[in-house]
Amino acid sequence: MIVAAVVLVLAQSVLGTNTPIPKHPNTSAFVLVRAGRYRIGKEGHLDNPPRTVAMHSFRIAKFDTTNSQFSAFVNATGCVTDAERNHNAMVFKPGLPEFRWIQDPTASWRYPNGGSRGDLTGKADHPVTSISYHDALAYCKWAGVRLPTLDEWEVACRAGTTTDYFFGNDESKIREYANIWHGKDHLKPDYSDGYMYTAPVGSFKPNPWGLYDMYGNVFQFCSGHVPSDKSKRVSHSRGGSWWCSKNACCYFNSFDIGREDNRASFSNQGFRVVLISQL
């Protein structure tokens, strides 16, 4: 039976269909990125300069890891996340100055925007947030997966494109592909795309390779470092989030690389995973 399952997985990969794996019962799909040489980077960025990378094949999740999936991990392991332990998750509420967040001791992945803004009811298929890089690694260890490297994420995101976005250079199309912030500032709520905070994974159009929410919704943790890193406590994430607007942050593109303390928990921070085994 195991052999049959492996054969099925291999067959699916060859056919380019999605492969379910254990511990990812919902939205448990992966997309095969084939080995090859890919152009990544951006002119003018010293931390991510234009270059060609030789990439091995890997399978990356179609969706960000959801609350449902993270809940299964916590239930199985009893994991206490950094924010639950330290009561220092950073959350957002409309009215704050640009880039200003508030530390909310009641916030954690269970109450991603703080206790006063609700729990996960109705949000099982939203991306998990208010977890740290350290928490994401713990999940990966349990699930038998890993985070994508910075280069892997970009190759998967670009889907063979060399433009700023996988849909070209016209930023106005971002609305079709990403849950982001459309207000000029963050003083008033923005529901113009249907969501102020996170959206259910897969609510917007995917990239050409079938990966959803590569831009917006939540920043996605990646492994690896950039040249300007000064501290070992730094981790990186990519793709922008529901908070990001064209006037502030605007990391919802193929080349920018976010940075945070590896124990910091933000309500716009999540992750997607990569299968460890290469096919």
Partner 1 sequence: MKKLLYLGAVSVLSAISFAAPAQSNSASARYDESRRVLTNPPYGLRKVESLIKQITFDAQSNRRLAAKTFNSLTFDDKFTYVMIHGEEFSQNCSGMPPLTNEQGKIFSYTPSPFGDETVWSDTQMAFLKNNRSKVIGLIRACMKSGRVGLNLKEAIEVLDAKELIPDLIAAHARNSSDNDIMTVLCLLMKDGNYKPFESTPIYVKLYGSESNYHTFVQATASNEKIILTDARALSQSSKK
Strands 258-261 and 234-238: antiparallel
Candidate list 82, 125, 190, 193; residue touching partner 1; CB under 8 A = 82
- Cβ closest to partner 1, residue 9 vs residue 136: 136
- Distance CA(124)–CA(65), nearest Å, equals 10
Beta carbon of residue 172, minimum distance to partner 1 (angstroms, whole number):
10
CA 260 to chain centre: 14
Our finding on whether 209 is near partner 1 (CB under 8 A) is no
Contact between 259 and partner 1 per CB under 8 A: yes
Question: Could you say which of 100, 141, 182, 205 contacts partner 1 (CB under 8 A)?
Answer: 100
219: Cβ–Cβ under 8 A, 6 or more apart, which residues? 237, 238, 239, 240, 241, 251, 258, 266, 268, 269, 270
Nearer CB in complex with partner 1: 13/235: 235
**Interaction of residue 47 with partner 1, rule CB under 8 A:** yes
What minimum distance in Å lies between the beta carbon of 32 and partner 1? 29
Query: Which of 121, 130, 123, 142 is closest to 84 using CA atoms?
Result: 130
* Residue 70 or 242 with smaller CB distance to partner 1: 242
The answer to the question of residue 243 lying near partner 1 (CB under 8 A) is: yes
102 binds partner 1 (CB under 8 A): yes
87 neighbors 162 (Cβ within 8 angstroms): no
- Burial (CB count within 10 angstroms: exposed 0-12, middle 13-18, buried 19+), residue 56: exposed
The answer to whether residue 161 forms part of the interface with partner 1 (CB under 8 A) is: no
**DSSP secondary structure of 180-243:** ---SSSSSS---TTS-SS---TT-S---TTS---SSSSSEEEEB---TT---TTEEEEES--TT
The reply on whether position 185 binds partner 1 by CB under 8 A is no
Scanning 12-20, 28-36, 71-79, 243-251 for contacts with partner 1 by CB under 8 A, the matching segment is: 243-251
Cα distance between residue 25 and residue 125, in whole Å:
11
Footprint of partner 1 on this chain (CB under 8 A)? 43-48, 82, 85-86, 88, 90, 98-103, 134, 164, 169, 171, 184, 219, 226, 228, 230-231, 233-234, 237, 240-241, 243-244, 246-251, 253, 256-261, 263-266, 268-269
